[in-house]
Amino acid sequence: MPTLCRPFVWVPEYTISMNETLDMCRRLHADHEKLPLILRMVEDTGIRERHLIQPIEQTLQHPGVEARKRIYLSEARAHVPSVIQQALASADVAAEDIDAIAFVSCSEFNMPPLTASMINAMGFRKDARQIPIAQLGCAAGGAAINRAHDFCIAYPDTNVLIVACEFCSLCYQPMDMGVGSVLSNGLLGDAIAAAVMRGAGGMGLKLERNASYLIPYTENWMPDEAVATSFDFQAERRVPGTISLLAPSLHMLASSHGWNASKLDFYVIHAGGPGILDGLSRFLAVEPDAFRHSRATLTEYGNIASAVVLDALRRLFDEGLPEGVRGLVAGFGPGITAEASLGTWVTESFAPTPGRNRASGDS
């Protein structure tokens, strides 16, 4: 079975605290009729600090789509390679051992995807498959894990690199006074994360089964609209309530594997906000502490979109787990979509099978 190895996560040097966020809301939206509600919602996120790719003074500007795209590409090309190198090292593989690259971002759209420049600049093989994922929002981290798992099952003994590059602050909308937009400004953060899915060998989470689920007719609940200044992400107050509809899909996934979703040893969940985690705790009938790593990501970094599950998984690695414990990884996003997987923790690497079967058919 494929094994998801320890992720590496990078966050920018510029930060904004909860108090600074609240002061900024009061200053920028002093005349907003729902300012007390917005301040209360921002406080309820529990976010202590967020990291930004630019100083807050530059973040608050709106130079337009072209300028923001240049910033995204420049910063991604400057920082993604070192994150990838750390992920490769933690998985004990080299760039030439990677058979596919899943690149995830909901904060920018590029064509060709950044995988092309990564292959050219970092020594990846020219026949490495490119798997860009750009439209699943916060669920994309879970989707990338699942697609990497699927690839390794389809092509045994291959390796997939997962990269999530989220600069959500570049989507700041100074002219949008909607509650959802203003709340997003106080919730989202920036980060880059990477991890390797090894088809053979490796230590970490041995993936055994995955599934996707869409709640019907909720595609307008969490939209990402294209506007003059960039993409405008809209938070939706109804989203936490969807957990009651998503929890049964997690139970179905676990029961199809002979497991009980309420009786697992660990949980790695996308932390869109504390309300989602609180609701999931109730509907899965597990203690709130089961989501401590997801809460820590939210508290220290904010909602870093698709990178959340990789950062929460990194924290799980740092805590350390015994051989054989079982757990769930899940990301939720627009659609409303859930991407979930089940796995068992392995602490001892085993040797890859000689004569690896490349996805291209070479041996």
Which of 14-28, 299-313, 341-355 is predicted with the least confidence, judged by mean pLDDT? 341-355
* Residue-level pLDDT at 57: 87
Query: Token match 């390794």: residue?
Result: 152
Q: Are residues 169 and 313 in the same domain?
A: no
Closest of 262, 271, 253 to residue 312, by C-alpha: 271
In a domain, 359, yes or no: no
**Using CA atoms in the order 298, 212, 146, 317, what is the torsion angle rounded to 10 degrees?**
30
Q: Are residues 208 and 310 in the same domain?
A: yes
Is a pLDDT exceeding 80 seen at residue 108? no
Q: Are residues 210 and 240 in the same domain?
A: yes
- Where a domain ends, among 173, 198, 223? 198
Q: Are residues 209 and 163 in the same domain?
A: no
Across 272-277, average pLDDT: 81
* Residue-level pLDDT at 276: 82
Higher-pLDDT residue of 66 and 86 is 86
One-letter amino acid for residue 312 of the chain:
A
Q: Determine contact, residues 20/49, Cβ cutoff 8 Å.
A: no
pLDDT in tens, 224-268: 555 555 555 555 555 556 777 888 889 999 999 999 999 999 999
In a domain, 355, yes or no: no
Across 104-129, average pLDDT: 90
* Residue-level pLDDT at 362: 45
In a domain, 351, yes or no: no
Q: Are residues 159 and 251 in the same domain?
A: no
* Residue-level pLDDT at 350: 57
Per mean pLDDT, which of 27-31, 33-37, 58-62, 317-321 is the most reliable? 317-321
Tokens representing residue 340 in the block = 């979930």
Q: Determine contact, residues 106/135, Cβ cutoff 8 Å.
A: yes
Banded pLDDT at 119 (limits 50, 70, 90): very high
- Where a domain ends, among 198, 228, 252? 198
Is a pLDDT exceeding 90 seen at residue 220? no
* Residue-level pLDDT at 357: 46
Is a pLDDT exceeding 90 seen at residue 174? no
Query: Token match 């904004």: residue?
Result: 16
In a domain, 363, yes or no: no
Is a pLDDT exceeding 70 seen at residue 314? yes
194/128 Cα distance (integer angstroms)? 17
In a domain, 58, yes or no: yes
Q: Are residues 159 and 264 in the same domain?
A: no
One-letter amino acid for residue 251 of the chain:
H
Banded pLDDT at 354 (limits 50, 70, 90): very low
Tokens representing residue 74 in the block = 């420049």
- Where a domain ends, among 175, 198, 221? 198
Across 32-58, average pLDDT: 89
Q: Are residues 146 and 241 in the same domain?
A: no
Banded pLDDT at 176 (limits 50, 70, 90): low
Q: Which helix (H) or strand (E) holds 262?
A: none
Q: What share of the chain is helix, strand, coil (3-state, %, to 5)?
A: 40, 25, 35
* Residues known to be catalytic: 138
In a domain, 361, yes or no: no
Q: Are residues 163 and 252 in the same domain?
A: no
Across 285-291, average pLDDT: 94
Q: Are residues 145 and 262 in the same domain?
A: no
Is a pLDDT exceeding 70 seen at residue 349? no
CATH classification of the domain holding 278: 3.40.47.10
Q: Are residues 342 and 293 in the same domain?
A: yes
In a domain, 353, yes or no: no
Closest of 110, 48, 122 to residue 73, by C-alpha: 110
* Residue 215, preceding peptide bond in cis (omega within 30° of 0): no
Q: In the predicted model, what is the mean pLDDT of the chain? A: 87
What is the C-alpha R_g of the chain?
A: 20
120/132 Cα distance (integer angstroms)? 16
Q: Are residues 163 and 246 in the same domain?
A: no
Residues linked to residue 192 through DSSP beta bridges, in sequence order? 10, 165
Is a pLDDT exceeding 60 seen at residue 74? yes
Q: Determine contact, residues 11/17, Cβ cutoff 8 Å.
A: no
pLDDT in tens, 127-139: 999 999 987 777 8
Domain count, the chain: 2
In a domain, 71, yes or no: yes
Q: Are residues 151 and 253 in the same domain?
A: no
113/174 Cα distance (integer angstroms)? 28
Range of the domain at 177: 3-198
Helices (H), 127-264: 140-154, 179-185, 243-256
